[in-house]
Structure 1
Amino acid sequence: MKIFSFIQPLILIIITVALTACNKSPQYSKISGPTMGTQFSVTYQSDSIDSEKVKQQIQAELNDINQLMSTYIADSEINRFNSLDNNQCFKFSDKTWQVLLAANDVYHQTNGAFDITLGPLISRWGFNAEEYQQKVPSSEEISQLLSQVGTDKLKFNFAQQCIQKSAPNISINLSAIAKGYAVDQISNLLSDLGISNYLVDIGGESKSLGVNPTGATWRIAIEKPIDLQRQQAVTVSLNNTSIATSGDYRNYFVANGKRFSHTIDPATGFPITHNLASISVIFPSNMYADAYATAMTVMGSKRALAFAQQQQIPVFIITRDGQKLSTQSNQWFDKYISQ
């Protein structure tokens, strides 16, 4: 058995391309570092801005989100909820509650394709911090784990901003939506500071406003889903919106010659097996873009495209047939493509 783990940012390469020239070059600053098990970078116009203050505020915000939502921090808010063994209605902070409401919304929109209660399955399949057990789970074991899964097993009390478990072993994992929320929060922070030109990226989830250092609209390249290589599939121009990409090729393992994706289908408890290799979603809220990208990866290309058409969500899909890659996008995505 071979186990492959790629922790590097997933799909997107951030690129800037000069489309116009400026007589006077504005000053831009870049902040980067580790966060949420991946890397972040923030590029912003810093004329007349205290860059050290910006850096401190960004880091404080990221630390706060991590402390609230990480399953890797023992005393995080999410882990304190997960450790409950009674039917107490656990009251959440405003930030975590906002993410939970969005997760619940996308769960119902996608008929369960997006589910934040997959923790037991994620751990068993070996895509979490826990050590992978050296065999593929049996159907019987998966059936037992599925009894612990389902956002519908979380009882939301909207008036009290709290959630009650329907069973003590239900747990929450926000890894498929928290990075998108963090991108939105950092973007809001920059806007509140009066910064009108910036690009925020966390682990390949990105949001931009205004123009890059050359005075051109920010351009973002979507990678081809090729192992150990970085090749562009398409480039998009984004202003005051965001993009998130989900793919199956940088986090997987191979057992008995069969490849298992890191994306688990909540309906079956098993990793997806269809030919959708990558999907990119453009949406004003990166939190929603992040969740939609995960849900549509679960759906597969046909269902994902139908859902995107129904919701008028811009999507770019890459499918794999052996070594051959094919792409398709809808009319809402096409208007963002750069030539």
Structure 2
Amino acid sequence: MSKMCIEPMRHALSGPTMGTRWSALFFAQAGFDQEPVRAALQAAVDEVDAQMSTWKPDSDLMRLNAAPVGAWVAVPDRLGQVLRLGLEIGRASAGAFDIGMGDAVTAWGFGPLAATPDHIRAAMRTDRVPTHDALEIDAGNGLVRKTSPVALDVNGIAKGYGVDRMAETLAAHCIDDALVGIDGEMRALGLRPDGAAWTIALEAPDEGRRAPHSILALQDASVATSGDYRHWIEVQGRRLSHTMDPNRGAPVLASPASVTVVAKTCAEADAWATAFMVKGSLEGGQLARRSNLSALFIEREGTQLRETRVGRLFETRPDPGREADAGNCTR
């Protein structure tokens, strides 16, 4: 009698988080109970949101924001991890990624409050100290203090960190091969059951439609995309994206249409995508090479798109017609 080959079953889980949805795709043998995994994933992203949201007045981040300059504040370990990584990438990017842009984000209407001219003028007039010079962290004791006035906003890294927490949660449930994501931040663990890499559709930077630009194959790596065409405001007939220029306290004026970054962790990819939007394709591409990161810069030239590809993962052009495991919806 021949043995029956039992194919693993596909599990696609999702839930709400951070104003959008998380997703997890993996395969398991018949009879696998997915509900404990779903609950654990939801708890993981809820914890990140509760600690790091700028939309929740009682979050740990907002409690730190409300503390006076010079006062040591106890913060939970996960927020401490994100703050340390944010400062590290802030230094490495010469301030292009800065987690102290909360006042500018709010002033321009990309936070929970509407934009106001007075707040915009104040944000642009502020004499800013780079946050990696304005924040002191005592990691051993879980303490943080501001040495200069700063409004912290970790939205440029928190979703990526949430994806990393989802990956850790699946590993704790002995799931080593999966694809997890929040919006445009995705992390691939291992391989598909057929031994192939996970495939992710990179979205074309088109405001009017959602269409794939190309396909990226990932194994044990993360990807994040930042762009100018999903979250923006119009000022005097000019469209301005949500990415803030730390030098101006205002939206970047000449950013790429989108930047996609591949890194080991999703938090790193998330933060670097923002940094490269600020830097642009020339300086950003040079920095990506020095930092050993793979990055895809897409810029508009009239009605055409021009690409700058950095790193081995983007050296060959993917086939946009290939079916993807998940879409990468730009933030």
TM-score, shorter chain, exceeding 0.5: yes
Asked if residue 242 in structure 1 is aligned to residue 222 in structure 2, the reply is yes
Structure-2 separation of matches of 1:34 and 1:211: 26
**Contact between 1:245 and 1:278, CA under 8 Å: does it hold in 2?**
yes
**Contact between 1:275 and 1:321, CA under 8 Å: does it hold in 2?**
no
Q: What letter matches 2:138 in structure 1?
A: N
Structure-2 separation of matches of 1:276 and 1:151: 25
**Deviation, structure 1 residue 157:** 2.6
The equivalent position to 1:317 in structure 2, one of 292, 297, 322, is 297
Correspondence 1:1-339 to 2 at 5 A: 24-47=6-29, 49-133=32-116, 137-138=120-121, 141-147=122-128, 150-167=131-148, 169-212=149-192, 216-334=196-314, 338-339=318-319
**Deviation, structure 1 residue 150:** 3.2
Deviation track 1:227-258 (CA, whole Å, cap 9, x = no partner) reads 12112221111111110111111111112111
Deviation track 1:92-115 (CA, whole Å, cap 9, x = no partner) reads 211111111110100000010011
Q: What letter matches 2:217 in structure 1?
A: S
**Contact between 1:116 and 1:172, CA under 8 Å: does it hold in 2?**
yes
SS in 2 for 1:82: helix
SS in 1 for 2:250: coil
**Deviation, structure 1 residue 87:** 2.3
Q: Do the aligned partners of residues 335 and 322 (structure 1) sit closer, same or farther apart at CA in structure 2, a change above 3 Å counting?
A: closer
**Deviation, structure 1 residue 203:** 1.2
Task: Show structure 1 runs of 5+ residues with no match.
Answer: 1-22
When structure 1 is superposed on structure 2, of 142-151 and 202-211 the one drifting more is 142-151
Q: What letter matches 2:232 in structure 1?
A: Y
Task: Show structure 2 runs of 5+ residues with no match.
Answer: 320-331
Structure-1 separation of matches of 2:69 and 2:210: 48
**Contact between 1:319 and 1:327, CA under 8 Å: does it hold in 2?**
yes
Structure-2 separation of matches of 1:86 and 1:243: 36
Q: Do the aligned partners of residues 275 and 171 (structure 1) sit closer, same or farther apart at CA in structure 2, a change above 3 Å counting?
A: closer
**Contact between 1:315 and 1:332, CA under 8 Å: does it hold in 2?**
no
**Contact between 2:191 and 2:219, CA under 8 Å: does it hold in 1?**
yes
TM-score by length of 1: 0.87
**Contact between 2:55 and 2:111, CA under 8 Å: does it hold in 1?**
no
Structure-1 separation of matches of 2:250 and 2:46: 33
**Deviation, structure 1 residue 304:** 0.7
Q: Do the aligned partners of residues 323 and 335 (structure 1) sit closer, same or farther apart at CA in structure 2, a change above 3 Å counting?
A: closer
Deviation track 1:194-214 (CA, whole Å, cap 9, x = no partner) reads 112211010110011233466
